[in-house]
Copies of this chain bind each other. A is one copy, B any other.
């Protein structure tokens, strides 16, 4: 089993996204890349990436969803933490072997087609934990980004190689002219 790759996001339940942004964007200076209506999750989500992870501000849009109940019972605050894994099925099996209770014993499809599974806070001592496996689509977006970086490195490498060649040619020419002397 390959290890957990990283924290993917920390989700924060808010009762008003604009008011929350006064802190997260105006105060803390995080950038809001997009605000998405997630009808499947009865919520609006604002995405604020930082480093390799994201802060997600989640505002419930109905009264009877999990986030709406959380907001009513506990008020706004940190709702869950999500970890990125390579093979969500292996993780689910391992958690079950350790008698850890899952909310989703089989992965469900999240926004953007990603595979997700929530672990029950009862088995994590009060923390709602989400597992998240990258979709092929997202993998391709990341690969495209990596390729672009590799291309830039190759261009820089070619420039460096051209410099080495020019230097060597110069050296060879002076070497040749020395031979001629």
* Chain A contacts to B: CB under 8 angstroms: 1, 3-7, 10, 12, 14-15, 19-20, 22-24, 26-31, 50-53, 55, 74-78, 81, 83-84, 91, 94-95, 98, 100, 119, 121, 123-127, 129, 161, 164-165, 168, 172
Contacts and interface: CB of A to CB of B under 8 A. Distances in A.
The count of identical subunits is 2
A10 to B, nearest CB: 6
Q: Is the interface of A mostly helix, strand, loop or mixed?
A: mixed
B50 A51 contact: no
A121 B6 contact: no
A52 B168 contact: no
A94 B27 contact: yes
A127 B12 CA distance: 8
Contacts of A126: 12, 75-78
A77 B127 contact: yes
Q: Which 7 residue pairs of A and B lie closest in terms of their CB atoms, listed nearest first?
A: A6-B51, A77-B126, A76-B126, A76-B125, A78-B78, A27-B98, A27-B100
A6 B100 contact: no
A28 B4 contact: yes
A124 B23 contact: yes
